[in-house]
Structure 1
Amino acid sequence: MPSNAEESSGSARTGRSSAAGSAAEKSLRVLEAVAAPGGPHRLTDVAAAAAVPKSSAFRILASLVDQGFVRQAPESRYVVGPRLRALSALVDGGEPAGVGRVLDELRRTTGQTVHLALHSGETITYIRKLEGDQPFRTASRVGMRMPLHTTAIGKGVLAHLPAGEVTGLVAATGLPGRTPNTLTTPQALYTQLAAVRSLGYAIDDEENEPTIRCIGAAVLGPSGRPVGGISVTTVTFLVSREEIESYAPALRAAAEALAPLL
């Protein structure tokens, strides 16, 4: 007569036809199902492919969305999120052809640090960083998640999201201040987002980190929805606001060039 441990082990080996497996195994199967070709995938299809109950799949997906590994698409479907894309890039160095060329051209044109980030929920996640020629290094890194309302890329993203979605994000985050310059009221943010839509770029003027000034623009998907953004980062004691705004034409051109690549 087998022991309870043996019965448990035997049950776990019955395969994907049951909900067997540790929490980590289930999460990995759900992630694998989301990343499968043919997405965005419905919750029902993800649960079936991962062989976990629908309720468990929903909880796992909610956690993965919160962590940035999965992104919730329209109509309650799920796609790969920016943190998983960043992890993939770190593992194999791969990226869509041409992305590196566009980023490097912007860096050479401005001489400043260039960031590429993808949007997921309430944050953006940096997936590429190219250091500039200046004698300083910023604290940002690939895989870092940043707020939307305090960053140039984030404000570029917000400016191109539907108004109702922006209102929901503002209510969810509460617009916490990171520096004295952070926009912490909805009206101040909405006023600036209108300007961002008009200009085609956003400025982070020490709103996320003291002495750091950035100019950023959204990268739009085929439907016009922002998938992320690109920015040029400087320090206030070396580059004036007027000078960083002079990078706008090169920045917008880079964002347009990246759109079909992402």
Structure 2
Amino acid sequence: MPPSHASTADSKPSGSSGGVQSLERAFDLLERMADAGGEVGLSELSASSGLPLPTIHRLMRTLVGCGYVRQQPNRRYALGPRLIRLGESASRLLGTWARPYLSRLVEETGETANMALLDGDEIVYVAQVPSKHSMRMFTEVGRRVLPHSTGVGKALLAHTPADEVRALLARTGMPAATEKTITTPEGFLDALETVRRAGYAVDDNEQEIGVRCLAVSVPNSPTSAAISISGPAGRVTEAATERIVPILQQVAGELSDALASNGTTSG
């Protein structure tokens, strides 16, 4: 039950959306906290949201009571650990929602389709639809790999500031999975520039010899996500790339629209 100190003004429906205003405000504050790096002060939240301090204080006190926010010793507020379970469950569902779109990729390209997320410093594959003539490859659901040796890693990091990319690479190291793997920060940053210019990423035998992958990020995804196709280098040729990339980009856009629809439409 909501605490008795919640005001009736906060609980009333919020106009045309038909939502509850206090819920909308609470989730808006959580997202603003995430955008600010996970920890903020009340005055910062007031400045960014435009809400009065008493309203923010009341909402934050409720979120603290629920475990979704915690108050730090310095009196600032941080995202709470109960959000982790929600995020992990939502990430798993993201793969489920993506499967119909990955199936379309397989139908239209003939190659195995994957979806991957950036989880901390690693890439994790959350969904896959195998090709009918699939070969055993490194891409499988649950598999974790380092970003520097994968197409999805390049796609996911293409628009990350260079200093953040360098810091990630310093933490992970850049081990060579094959003799084609990029093993220097400068080489990887050059590859990211190529991704930004071309609009797609390539893993050319860099994670596994004999396998080529093409990847694009999912625009406006609620969490950093990319989709890819992977197959034998003999099939995923330069000519095939010209045909496949527009399909990848179209499906990524449609998946983005579906994720932004809030589940209010079918299909």
Q: Same fold (TM over 0.5)?
A: yes
Give aligned pairs, total.
Answer: 200
User: Which residue in the other structure is 1:259 paired with?
Assistant: 256
The aligned counterpart of 2:46 is: none
Contact 1:87–1:143 (Cα < 8 Å) also in 2: no
Once the 2 structures are TM-superposed, how far is the Cα of residue 172 of structure 1 from its aligned partner? 1.7
Q: Give the aligned partner of residue 232 of structure 2.
A: 235
Query: What CA deviation, in whole Å up to 9, does each residue of 1:86-116 have, x standing for no partner?
Result: 8844xxx9844xx333222111110100001
- Does the 8 A contact of 1:86 with 1:126 survive in 2? no
SS at match of 1:220: coil
Q: Secondary structure at the match of 2:209?
A: coil
Question: How far apart, in 2, do the equivalents of 1:145 and 1:190 lie?
Answer: 21
Alpha-carbon distance in 2 for matches of 1:83, 1:125: 14
Whole-Å Cα distance in 1 between the matches of residues 86 and 177 of structure 2? Answer: 23
Q: TM-score scaled by structure 1?
A: 0.64
1:143-192: per-residue Cα shift (whole Å, max 9, x none)?
21221111101100110222332122122222221111110111111111
What is the DSSP-based 3-state SS (H/G/I as helix, E as strand, rest coil) of the residue aligned with 2:226? Answer: strand
Pick one of 61, 83, 88 that aligns with 1:84: 88
Residue 51 of structure 1 and its aligned partner are, at CA, apart by: 10
In 2, Cα distance between equivalents of 1:142 and 1:76: 32
What residue identity is the alignment partner of 2:184?
T
Name the CA distance, whole Å, in 2 between partners of 1:234 and 1:138: 8
Query: How far apart, in 1, do the equivalents of 2:68 and 2:223 lie?
Result: 33
Matches within 5 A, 1:141-160: 141-160=140-159
- Once the two structures are overlaid, the 10-residue window that deviates more, 239-248 or 164-173, is 239-248
Contact 1:113 1:234 survives alignment (8 Å): yes
TM-superposed CA distance for 1:220, in Å, is 2.5
Percent of residue pairs bearing the same amino acid type: 30
CA contact (8 A) 1:219 1:226 kept: no
Cα distance in structure 2, aligned partners of 1:82 and 1:136: 35
Q: Deviation per CA, 1:23-67, whole angstroms, max 9, x where unpaired?
A: xxxxxxxxxxxxxx9345656978764499978xxxxxxxxxxxx
Shift of 1:246: 2.8
Which residue is equivalent to 1:113? 112
Deviations 1:167-226 (A, max 9, x none): 22122222221111110111111111111001110000111112111000111326xx97
In 2 relative to 1, CA 51–95 (structure 1 residues): closer, same or farther, beyond 3 Å?
Answer: closer
Task: Give the SS at the match of 1:204.
Answer: strand
Q: Which amino acid aligns with 1:240?
A: T
